[in-house]
Structure 1
Amino acid sequence: MELLLALLLAGVKAAPPFLEEPSNGSVVLGKEAELRCAVRGGVAVQWARGGLLLGALPGPAHPRYRLVGDPRKGEHHLRIMAARLEDDGVWQCQAGGGNGTAGSRPALLTVMVPPARPELELPEGAELPWREGAELEVRCRVGGARPAANLRLTLGGEPLPEVSSHVTEDGSDPRLSTTQITVRVSPRRGSHGQTLHCSATNEAGGDPTETHLTVSVLFPPEPPTIEGLESPNVRLGDTLRLLCMARGGNPAPSLHWEKDGVPLLSPWFSDSPRGGAAALSRSRVVLTVTRMDDGVTLSCRSRSAAGGGGTDSVTIRVYYLPAEVTILGSPTVAENGTLSLACSSAPSNPPVRLRWWLGGRELPHGDTAVTPAEGGGSVSMSNVTLIGHRRDHGRALLCEALSPGLGSRSASVLLGVTHPPQEVWLEGPPPNATFRVGARVRLLCHARGGHPAPRLVWTRDGRPVKDGTPQSGGAVVSRELQIVVTPNDNGAVYRCEVGGQRGGPSAHTRLSVLCVTSPSQCRTGPLLL
């Protein structure tokens, strides 16, 4: 019996204190990890990392570590917040009591690090742009990963044949790895504009990290062509908008305009190729035809560092309409005032006859004066005088130049007749309203019509009020005034009028204030708070 009791006591002492022990696991850098440990009741627990006890948790030295679980059930799980590389290693849960200390089985926690953004490397001789048919090697590398990253290189979505691949220790931390692969590229014309793409992944999961560049392949352009001229016969004053285009070429060809061998300043640009198509280079020249342009030759030349190029040209013939018609003088007049304007044409052949129009009706005017122009043709001039009427404000005043057999040319201006607004009115509380001190009152002033647009101003008892927000909507101009009522506003007159116009239309309102401190000054009427 005594022997049996001794064996039972020895069995109690040897019983393991752990109900649950930590297991090997992994965590992504910056994420949360949990190591589980549960012991029998009455047993103290500490955690150790790499054989070193961490002490009471959380603590100043380990603010990211927390003990979670129900201690009454013996749960002392370790939660690691925002995992770092320093958390990588062997962990152990140690339980101790009056009979000594026991350690759980060791648990290896592996901290995994997603790969950084990869880098594409173009060795010497493989710099962009590439020449079609060349045999090139391209490298991609990525570091800072654990475990080592897998790299994939594609061109236009198609994988490239791998030449070599190797993994080395990252210089920033021996636990991290750097992966590098080398692939072979044989660029073709169809490769131009495609994307060279490198992506990196590892067991840390998450989206792949990527980098890319757009491939450029050298090839010559096609000869240029000129578009935009329906006929070589043009009229004096016409605006020629000619477009020179050259398809293909990388680098894109430069385009150069000449007029009878004299260079013309004109920019050129190129559309980037898509889907393997060649670039389209374009240059536009805009010319106003003059008498001196009769018989000139316009040419467009293309030049490319990849070779090729060429020239296209057109020769134009000029017919004599005036290059332009000009209205001289200011088209602004006061209401009922007198306005005089002159109209002059550029040289024409034959001379043009000038006519004046306002709102669709022809105006009486003096005879057209004709004088010879230097270099040929004639200059025509005519004067007109009219009275400014409000109904004509904003109408087009047009001077038309007629030439038999050739057509007409014209110029126009908008007639501006200055006049005051038609009316000014207020939006606000009822006229008999009474307000408490401190109440907010909103007054909105409107003015309809007028040219130029009226500038509304607010006054209080004849003195300007600086506040007020201007608004505009179509033919109506508004200005808002926000008032915080004071005792001094009792009987005050707020007036809205057009700035800079004495005796013009205006609108006003008078405030009535409920004065608690001086009842004799109070006004009657509906009370608005």
Structure 2
Amino acid sequence: MHRYCVAIATIFILLPQKVPGQLQSIVEGPSDTSVNLHAPSVTLNCIVENMSGDLFWMFERKIIPGTSIDRSLPAFPRYTIVGDPSLGEHNLQISDVSLEDDGLYECQVTPASSSEEPLRSTPARLTIRRPPVSVGINEGPLKTVSVTVASNISCTASGANPAARITWLKDGEQIEDGDKISTMPSPDPSMKLWDTKSVLLVTPALEDHGAIFECQAINAAIAEPMVQTLTLDVQHPPVVLVESIPSDIKEGISILLQCVVDANPRGVFYQWSKNIEPIPGDTNQIELSLEKSDNQAVVMCMASNSIGTSEGSLTLDVKYGPRFVDIPGETSVDEGEMAQLECSADGNPPATIKWTRIGSRATLSTMQKLQFDSVQSSDVGLYICQATVEGFDPIESYGRVDINTVPIIHYNEKHLARPGSRVQLECQTESKPEPEAIIWSWNQYELEQGTSGRFTVTEEERETGYAGVLTISKVHQSDYTEYNCTMINAMGSAEAIIVLEQQGLDFFFYIIIFVVSVALLIFILSILFMVYCKRKLQRSSASSSSTDEDEKKVKVEIIRKLSDLQLSDEERRKLARLDSRHSTRGTPSPPRYAEPVDYIPRRRDSWDDPTYRRLSIGSPTPPPYDDDDDDVDRRFSQRSSHEYMEAGDGPYKARKVSNGSYRDVQYESTLGGRRPLERDAYSNHSQYSENQGYGYFEEPRGISISGNRNGPDEKESLVHRDDVSRRSNLSMNSRNKLATNV
């Protein structure tokens, strides 16, 4: 039933729904589409709004059997109507596209009533694209022509849809015009393929010899054109070209001169000459060793064939690097005077001059002379003359301009050194004239040249001037002080103070110390954590073992005994009544442990209590347990001259006395009441505990009673079992004085 409802709902959804009051209309029809042959599928859209009639597709003005209701179109297995009918989508999908599918398509909708007109979409063309089957040049890959004689070259691209477009190229450059193009149907059964033919008219010139013509055919089915080439073989007299290997000719090298000839036919004879003077050789190449003097020499090659003679020449351009003709020097003038530096160089190509100041890239001049009209202190320095020839490394020469002045000292004000290390203190000057003396002084010491103990003074001439160097080996604590450097020249003297300070630990060492400290702290914390975890685990194991042992042991309670000597007879009778009231009523099940039947709160007697109240020996055995207090009084008050019962507290409720002997009587709860259990008066605790070391009391595993329960010759025994494996950690003295409540 559920499947039936679902099927009905599905059919209802698939059926076109008409909105009352609105007419059906084609919202979107098919559009022109192109797809390559053998494409997986192509879809033509047709969307109808408020469709109430039937929709069908037409191909080339013919109806495709099938409607929007039967969307499978069984007459055309590759055709299917797809889309969501509830949205009005009735698209035509064609699978495994073939040439037969090329043509015009349109979708139509029949009118829902006589008042409506049928709906038709705009026809759309589906083009099945196919690349050309073949592209070829009819004249073959090589065509022989004569200079200035016109000739045709034809190219055909066949079996394409749409028709291929042909383009001609000559040596890689497109030919804009000069060809004639024609298109015709291809001899194919489908009659939907096309052949294209292009004819190019060529009038070869001398430079067309060996030219390559390309025929490129392309259509919408391919991204890259299909290409066929043809080479022109143009017959002509020799064309001569002289080349050098390498082409960049420099002095001091050997070059190979080649006579490159383009001739057809090929039989060629060669002759060489240099500056009109013949050079031995009859081949197309010779070797020459060049010098600077060979610059601008003319080398000629003459080539001849059966058609004519031609010649070619090459003027040698021998390149050589720059050479200084004049170099700048040093000049020192007074401030405000004129100064000049001069520099010139030769080279091929001609050398270029550039003046710069050292430390700067700014070009000061490109002339051979660098002139200062009025020298100022800012002009003092080193200047560079650079000569450059293309293809060679530049060369440089230095000139210096100075002002005569007292020494200007350059130095570092502070130096750092560790104790025991070696340190150098420097002061230098570029001033002119040169310093006559450099003196170092500190504390009470002064040194101009040489070595004194751990101190050494030297003077160095550098490119930028003169420098005085004070070297201290194995620095002491006393060496951390101020050092004075004094320079003296013809214009005067100048001083500089340099401070030597002790160098502390580098920041890197502080990082190492911090990392080591953190690692050590983590190590110590890890050890402490491991010890803590180990102890906790041991305690947990010990607690678990102790719990297991305790579960196997019988619980005991050490209580304080209360002697019956402290109570009067009346008090003891009252306690006996209370004991009977607090006893368990009803018929209890046999206890698991040998526990007292009745309890007296906060009062329990020990087995070793020496005092008991006695009854006459002739008294009968107490009757079974009864809750009646009067019966308890009656039971414990019967007397005779030979045997009596004494009321007791604790686990033994009475004591039987006969001829000076007595035995403890305990009552056991049974299903029928209570029965007495006896202990001989002369027995001791060793009879109840076989282990003399650490004792305990456990549940009797079984109780046997022999004799007459109520007769005078009764004899009752308590069968007690001791499990040696279960014992409490009690000393012998404690064991003998405890009372069990188990």
TM-score, normalised with respect to structure 1: 0.36
* Bigger helix fraction: 2
TM-score, normalised with respect to structure 2: 0.27
* Bigger strand fraction: 1
Instruction: Tell me which structure has the larger Cα radius of gyration.
Output: 2
